Structure 1
Amino acid sequence: MGISEMNIGVESSSSGETDHGVDAALVRKIDRRIVPILFSAYFLQFLDKVAVNYANVMGLQKDLHMQGQDFSWTATAFFIGYVVAEWPQGVLLKRFPVSQVLGYNIFLWGIILCCSAACRGTASIIAVRTLLGVCEAVIAPALIVITSRWYTKADAPLRYGIWYCGLGAGQIFGGLISFGAQHSSSTFAGWRVMFICIGTVNILVAMMVLIALPDGPERADFLNHDEKKSIQQRLEADEATAESDVRLHLLGELFLDPQIWLLVLLTLCITIPSGVITTFSAVLIHSFGFDSKQSALLNMPSGVVSIFATILSTWAIVKQAPRWLSVIGLLIPALIGGALLSFEGIGRPAGSLAGIYLVNFIVAPLAIIYNWVGANYNGHTQRVAASAVVSAAFGIANIIGPQTYQAKDAPEYLPAKITLMVVIASALPITLALRVLYGHRNRTRGTGGLEYRL
């Protein structure tokens, strides 16, 4: 069964009934063009993030003469740039074609990643990582907006899940690239070769985005006039409200809405652990007694777990399971993984390694949060703003995460591991609070009001 056949079912605005065969064929056509590009973009931005994790066990700290918390600040610098740039990137997405803003940012971060190979000290690597964060701040808001421009709220969850699987793919391919780069016969250090290779691929994908990704159905040269009209009708019927201008009162409503703050808190609790794993998993595996090549390979199953968790939660949503229940189902194995990682210790590598793998269940709920933003906010302005706020929370969490790993706590890093468990556990009541809020709003909404997706 094709991906577009799994969740088609929105009514046509003209007849009240959907011609399933026509709609399925049209959505398949859109999928073939749009979804691979979104997947590639998300895959590469995560590969960029995880590259510094692998570089750490490939000699980056030694080559750049790092001491103490220097590596943690290198990881943190990326997300300082990410958070600072979130609002400016949101403004660019509002004022210019989304696909162009995305494409040029990917092009820039590809160049910056290549330049990372030329770094000779801590200050230079922190500078380029900060600039990289500035460019990559665009990724989540851009992909959320693009998905909502092409797919109805019934069709969108599966597409969010597919492009979000790029995260797990980045972990897997990052391990392979790291392993291969460590066998390079180049006079460059292996981590420098890895940065150049990944940066070059980013530049090529940026060209694909700029050339092949339309800004919306109305500008799609691969669709005929009737197909464009059909998509527009489906999307208009799916929106409860719409607006074309930036309206300050809409932004005011956004920031006074408890929904956005619960989403922010949930994003923080989910991303602090995933940020730790993204930055330090290879280091933790290395501390269990494995060499750098083995650490690269043993980190790859983390990507498999991430993909499995994302597919599982996406399948549950497609089958009409409540999103909040899917989040809780993903938090439970992550909490077990945190316990194993915290209390098994480096003397019992099998249990600790299993803990690292299980903690990767925590990455999948972020795709559900993105889906909530796309489904539970109407209109371009609020959707872009909500996406930017959630992405800023993602960046702040990734600033906090690496700083929980203090050099003085090596090699056990027990305080960081306990912190990881606490924030995962905190995500459970926040998820339940969102469920209560959405349920209350659905019971009290007026005729024609937005139906919140649980």
Structure 2
Amino acid sequence: MTERLHLHGSQYSWLSSVFYIGYLLLQFPTTYILTRLPIGKYLGGSLILWGLCLPLMATCSSFASAATVRFIMGMLEAGLLPTCVLLTATWYTREEQPLRTALWFGPFSGIFGGVLAYFVDSARSTLPAWKLLFIIYGVATVALGVVCIIALPDHPDNAWFLRPSEVHQAKMRTQENKTGLSTRQPWNFSHIFEATKDAKYWLIVIFAIAQSITNAGITNFSPLIISGFGYSRGYTVLLAAPQGGIALVAQVAASIATLYMTDSRCLFWILSCIPAFIGVLMIRFVPLSTHRNTALMGLYLTGFYNTSWVMAMSLVSSNTAGATKKSFTAVSLAICYAVGNIVGPHFFLDSEKPHYHSGIDAMMVAFATMAVCGGLYRYICILQNKARDRSVQYRLLPALPEEQDETVFSEPDSDKTDKEVLTFRYTY
């Protein structure tokens, strides 16, 4: 692709960054859209349009044309991450959310994509392998978008697979979340002010930027780093697949463990940064001439980085109530994801290929920052929960009858934030 598009200098990095510039520009409109539209239909429509853009990449013959398509694709992907965060909060209990997040954000593409790329590259075709891959993924994405529009409900009330009695049960099973059920509420600026005054929000912001810098390196440059170890092109794409497998196993295993270990998400957030940090140390300092397989093992260890992202997203979903506040926080997460992915590729200097020492150093700093954010997030949640337990307001709060407490969160028009619900306790 680099040869066919006549890329040179930092243009490969800019093809990655320009995607997230488009992604970033549409995040603020997305905050409003998610409070006004059925999010299941919005997700499906975004997927269809995004899938239609993918084959256009195969028609590009220059950096300018490819950058234009990538920019549009970034805009169309803007709503996917916050939409999935909101759907997770709507349908699943706090305990269930980490595993569901791990599955919908699972690196299946890293596993399947490497294997598919290997076989497409080996096949005899009149089209170059990279063009054929864009077409295959485009068709698959459009098909998934159609399925979402037809079959994905955005709320239990319009779930075609639930009987009337089950609709009520679906609402009641998530009542303990105390985050509300509906995202289609009037715009409420007080929710945004409340979010920005919370230290947890800013820790998520810092973490998301740091994590996305590592994501930019791992996603865009892993094959180039592996190629620098001396492997052939065919084996390079195949050898990239195990990293996705390690990431998937790690985040699913950690998510299942949270079902049995109370308030352990921040713990796994922190612990997952350690093997990833060790992995980049191995890539940076192991001599490739004699230990290239060891360096490759280090690259695989970086797959643990995804676990901390899954834990953080599930905490955003579990710890945020109020329609506008949920939308704003989810979109903020996506904005930071975009910022990190815009900045990240430019640490990988073309003059340093194939070893990219500056990029690897940036990833080391980012992993350390991610671990610190996880520890501080846990500490603040503990402090805030203790403060609520000591609160005179809480001690004097009359016990709500079960049916009254049920109404507060099961009615679609309730729109209380986590700060306003005095019985709300933050999970960590």
- The answer to whether structure 1 residue 335 and structure 2 residue 274 are counterparts is no
The 5 Å alignment of 1:85-104 reads 85-104=26-45
Q: Check the 8 A contact 1:346/1:412 in 2, yes or no.
A: no
| 2:364 corresponds to | 421
Q: Check the 8 A contact 2:51/2:139 in 1, yes or no.
A: yes
Q: Check the 8 A contact 1:164/1:310 in 2, yes or no.
A: no
Match of 1:326 among 268, 273, 284: 268
Match of 2:258 among 303, 312, 317: 317
Match of 1:204 among 143, 160, 167: 143
* Cα separation, 1, equivalents of 2:177 and 2:226: 47
1:353-411 deviation digits (Å, cap 9, x = unpaired): 11110011111111111111111101221111101001111111111111101111122
Match of 1:248 among 189, 192, 207: 189
| 2:122 corresponds to | 183
Structure 2 gaps, min length 5: 395-421
Q: Check the 8 A contact 2:18/2:67 in 1, yes or no.
A: yes
Structure 1 gaps, min length 5: 1-59
Measured after TM superposition, the shift of residue 154 of structure 1 is: 2.8
Percent identity between matched residues is 27
What is the DSSP-based 3-state SS (H/G/I as helix, E as strand, rest coil) of the residue aligned with 1:261?
Answer: helix
Q: Check the 8 A contact 2:55/2:135 in 1, yes or no.
A: yes
CA shift in 2, pair 1:346/1:437, >3 Å? same
CA shift in 2, pair 1:150/1:290, >3 Å? same
1:42-69 deviation digits (Å, cap 9, x = unpaired): xxxxxxxxxxxxxxxxxx1011111111
Q: Which amino acid aligns with 2:304?
A: F
Q: Check the 8 A contact 2:228/2:354 in 1, yes or no.
A: yes
Q: Check the 8 A contact 1:242/1:378 in 2, yes or no.
A: no
Q: Which amino acid aligns with 1:313?
A: A
CA shift in 2, pair 1:437/1:289, >3 Å? same
Match of 1:344 among 277, 286, 289: 286
Q: Which amino acid aligns with 2:140?
A: V
1:220-255 deviation digits (Å, cap 9, x = unpaired): 121111100122233344316688322111111112
CA RMSD of aligned residues (A): 1.5
* Cα separation, 2, equivalents of 1:351 and 1:183: 27
- The answer to whether structure 1 residue 452 and structure 2 residue 394 are counterparts is no
| 2:51 corresponds to | 110
* Cα separation, 2, equivalents of 1:115 and 1:241: 40
- The answer to whether structure 1 residue 389 and structure 2 residue 347 are counterparts is no
TM-score, normalised with respect to structure 2: 0.89
* Cα separation, 1, equivalents of 2:28 and 2:385: 30
The 5 Å alignment of 1:133-148 reads 133-148=74-89
* Cα separation, 2, equivalents of 1:200 and 1:333: 37
The 5 Å alignment of 1:260-279 reads 260-279=201-220
* Cα separation, 2, equivalents of 1:367 and 1:237: 21
- The answer to whether structure 1 residue 369 and structure 2 residue 308 are counterparts is no
* Cα separation, 2, equivalents of 1:289 and 1:253: 52
Farther off after superposition, 97-106 or 171-180: 171-180
Aligned length: 393
Q: Which amino acid aligns with 1:414?
A: H
Measured after TM superposition, the shift of residue 99 of structure 1 is: 0.4
1:271-323 deviation digits (Å, cap 9, x = unpaired): 21122010000111111111211001100001111111111210221112511
* Cα separation, 2, equivalents of 1:118 and 1:104: 23
* Cα separation, 2, equivalents of 1:125 and 1:323: 40
Match of 1:353 among 296, 311, 330: 296
* Cα separation, 2, equivalents of 1:250 and 1:328: 29
* Cα separation, 2, equivalents of 1:284 and 1:238: 43
CA shift in 2, pair 1:278/1:81, >3 Å? same
* Cα separation, 1, equivalents of 2:287 and 2:339: 28
* Cα separation, 2, equivalents of 1:302 and 1:233: 39
